[in-house]
Amino acid sequence: MSRTTIGLFIASPERAATWLAALRKFLPECVVDTADRFERADEVEFAVVWGEADLGKFRQLRAVLSLGAGVDHLLRNATISPGIPIVRMVEAGLADGMREYVLLNVLRHHRDMQTLAGNQARCRWAPFSVPPAKDRTVGIMGLGALGADAGQTLVQFGFRVVGWSRRPKTLSGMRVFIEGDRQAFLQQTEILVCLLPLTAETSDILDKTLFASLPKGAAVINAARGEHVVDADLLSALETGHLSGATLDAFRTEPLPPDHPFWRHPKITVTPHCASLTHPEGGARRIARCIEQMRAGETPVGLVDRRAGY
């Protein structure tokens, strides 16, 4: 019986080497290598992908497994046949990283660290108070695994947390608004966290209309996709003072070009798409489990609904 073959698609040689070692550890019975090492079109059964990948020549693909929670780039990939399953990464380390990132930046906006940093730069001693967490409303857009977990963490820290979801959900300590109640959700949200999947419906969702619906002085955190944000609208809302600040982890063009105004804007914090990264050890263990499930004819955890777009 032939051995299962797994092709790894990662542009960075350093990251590829780390992932190869982890995958081979958890899949010792499989042939695992970078995709360029497979010459024949029938050689790769499972593609493990981070970023862009040309999968057109691999005619025997059984599934494409993402190394990240987001799969919008794979859904747009014309070289992946409609009949091939796509599996997102569902791994505890991703939730841990996002939980930390969201909590860190919600606290930064809550305690107005931006003003404190500016005062320090000017050697200005100017104490001020902020409301207690219980009087601050944080809104989470997108209540998938990462969003729900981040929301529950904020509840534990005492914040008043509301969520916005396509479907009704019950989450302890949170009021959840569904799609048609977006206005009511936004009007009370003082710190908005976007963790939505990128679909046709959510592209450009963080625009002037949405910003205008937030209370004056609200802050925005986008740890999802750059295409969610209309850049010019965000800059305008910051310049008028309607928004007090923004933390951005994803951008329409990555790396963010050096001349982009986000870099030097005093009210914007830029992070290089690092809110939550998959750790090779945990990620390889999860991929091994998914492949085991598919080889047994089972539905893998993280299977994407391609019709819904996530």
Closest CA relative to residue 140, chosen from 169, 171, 162 = 162
DSSP calls for 52-95: ----TT-TT--EEEESSS--HHHHT-TTS-TTS-EE----HHHH
User: Of these residues, 109, 136, 160, 273, which one is catalytic?
Assistant: 273
Asked if 30 and 8 count as a contact pair (C-beta separation under 8 A), the reply is no
> Which residues does residue 86 pair with via DSSP β-bridges, in sequence order?
64
Query: Distance (Å, rounded) from C-alpha 27 to C-alpha 12?
Result: 22
Query: Distance (Å, rounded) from C-alpha 41 to C-alpha 54?
Result: 12
Catalytic residue check, 59: no
Asked if 109 and 245 count as a contact pair (C-beta separation under 8 A), the reply is yes
Catalytic residue check, 225: yes
Identify residue 220 by its one-letter amino acid code. V
Q: How many CB atoms within 10 Å of residue 64?
A: 25
User: Of these residues, 99, 108, 225, 228, which one is catalytic?
Assistant: 225
What is the rounded end-to-end Cα distance, in angstroms, of the chain?
35
Give catalytic residues, as residue numbers: 225, 273
